[in-house]
Copies of this chain bind each other. A is one copy, B any other.
Amino acid sequence: MSGVETLRVSHDVAVVHTTHPFVIARGGTSEHRLIRIRVTAHDGTEGWGEAAPNRFYGETPDTALAALARLAPIVERCDPWALEHVEAEMNAALRFNGSVKSALSAALHDLAGKRLGVPLYRLWGLDPARAPLSSFTIAIAASDDELRQRIAQAADYPVLKVKLGTDRDEQIIRTVRAAAREKILRVDANAAWTPKQALAMIDVLADCGVEYVEQPVAAQDLDGLRFVRERSALPVIADESCVVATDVARLAGLVDGINIKLSKCGGLREALKMIATARAHGMRVMAGCMIETSLGITAAAHFAPLLDYADFDGAALLTDDPYVGATIARGRIAIPDGPGLGVKQRGID
């Protein structure tokens, strides 16, 4: 079936800004460069996708553009319906570079859905009403006052995800809990703790009624993950340790759940495979995002009905989101019901 038609792949770079500098344990910034990808079929139908390259996973906007130059020809000569094969070919051509592969995968899925006239969630047999609530992220603030200000701005969100991994983690989580007494709190340490620090902090987190802790220890420290999980009062979710589906298999028995991100895993199909593998092992499944526009967020939102936990606030943190797609008003994920991803440019009907 390959060579049935040819697609054209084009791209540009979008610069977007967060309301506050988005700081996590590894640092942060308020300006973010994203690669927008467009696949165009002969009949003019377009599929859209977005890459949010992240240095932790070896990507920058420049590596993403270079990877795109390598991967675009594969997409241009592929059978656009044979999505399984396209993802496999991209993986065979170039390892890692998950954000670019996911953007191309999203664009092809968008195209397929548009051609069939159905939203992606329907193509996948999912009920959009079954998406869990999304959390809203409280990044690392410079002071307690700033922290309280952010919590106040997040008043509409019933679930907060608190970034830790500082020298004043206990102070942060107690401040958040005091300012948000009724909310569900989750914590993401972004690999910042040693296993022993993690256990000490988890006692504090449990005392504050935190729901789970994400990536307490270094990404490669699987023994540390197991050590923490076996002693932890809270469920442990792997994020930086869990990039693709084979990682889920490797982590089975070591953690309680996984966090999927399209920018890590390299494709919408890979994300679904991660979910299937995790479920077969009885693991919990979360999905998250980077700082992304509504275009990037929406690609992940379409599989939200398969998740236990979602953290899809990447676009909600922006001042200048160029797209309208999935929304998370008061934590509720509304997946657009237009064909494909169902994403539109803001201000254009």
Chain A interface residue count, Cβ-Cβ cutoff 8 angstroms: 38
Interchain residue pairs with CB less than 8 A apart (22): A1-B127, A1-B129, A81-B122, A82-B126, A82-B127, A83-B125, A85-B126, A85-B127, A116-B116, A116-B118, A123-B123, A245-B279, A245-B280, A246-B280, A249-B252, A249-B281, A249-B282, A252-B252, A272-B276, A273-B279, A274-B280, A277-B280
Say yes or no: A125 contacts B280, CB within 8 Å.
no
A248 lies within 8 A of chain B by Cβ: yes
Q: Which of B126, B129, B245, B282 contacts A276 (CB 8 A)?
A: B245
Please classify the interface of chain A as helix (H, G, I), strand (E, B), loop, or mixed, using the class held by over half of its residues.
helix
Please indicate the chain B residues that have their CB under 8 angstroms from the CB of A169 in the complex.
Answer: none
Please indicate the chain B residues that have their CB under 8 angstroms from the CB of A129 in the complex.
Answer: 1
Q: Which of B130, B269, B274, B279 contacts A125 (CB 8 A)?
A: B269
A305 lies within 8 A of chain B by Cβ: yes
A10 nearest CB across to chain B (Å): 23
A84 lies within 8 A of chain B by Cβ: yes
Please indicate the chain B residues that have their CB under 8 angstroms from the CB of A116 in the complex.
Answer: 116-118
Say yes or no: A84 contacts B280, CB within 8 Å.
no
A129 nearest CB across to chain B (Å): 6
Q: Which residues of A contact B (CB under 8 A)?
A: 1-2, 79, 81-85, 112, 116-118, 122-130, 245-246, 248-249, 252, 269, 272-274, 276-277, 279-282, 305-306
Say yes or no: A125 contacts B277, CB within 8 Å.
no
How many identical subunits does the complex contain? 2
Say yes or no: B112 contacts A79, CB within 8 Å.
no
Please indicate the chain B residues that have their CB under 8 angstroms from the CB of A279 in the complex.
Answer: 245, 273
Please indicate the chain B residues that have their CB under 8 angstroms from the CB of A122 in the complex.
Answer: 81
Q: What's the Cα separation between A124 and B124 when bound, in Å?
A: 8
Please indicate the chain B residues that have their CB under 8 angstroms from the CB of A118 in the complex.
Answer: 116
Q: If the complex has contacts A116-B116, A118-B116, A249-B252, are A81 and B280 also in contact, measured as CB distance less than 8 A?
A: no
Please indicate the chain B residues that have their CB under 8 angstroms from the CB of A112 in the complex.
Answer: 125
Q: What's the Cα separation between A116 and B279 when bound, in Å?
A: 29
Please indicate the chain B residues that have their CB under 8 angstroms from the CB of A269 in the complex.
Answer: 125
A86 nearest CB across to chain B (Å): 8
Q: What's the Cα separation between A128 and B127 when bound, in Å?
A: 27
Q: What's the Cα separation between A276 and B273 when bound, in Å?
A: 5
Residue of B nearest to A2 (CB): B127
A112 nearest CB across to chain B (Å): 7
Residue of B nearest to A125 (CB): B83
Say yes or no: A84 contacts B249, CB within 8 Å.
no
Residue of B nearest to A117 (CB): B116
Please indicate the chain B residues that have their CB under 8 angstroms from the CB of A79 in the complex.
Answer: 127
Please indicate the chain B residues that have their CB under 8 angstroms from the CB of A127 in the complex.
Answer: 1-2, 79, 81-82, 84-85
Q: Which of B124, B128, B273, B282 contacts A280 (CB 8 A)?
A: B273
Say yes or no: A128 contacts B245, CB within 8 Å.
no
Residue of B nearest to A268 (CB): B125
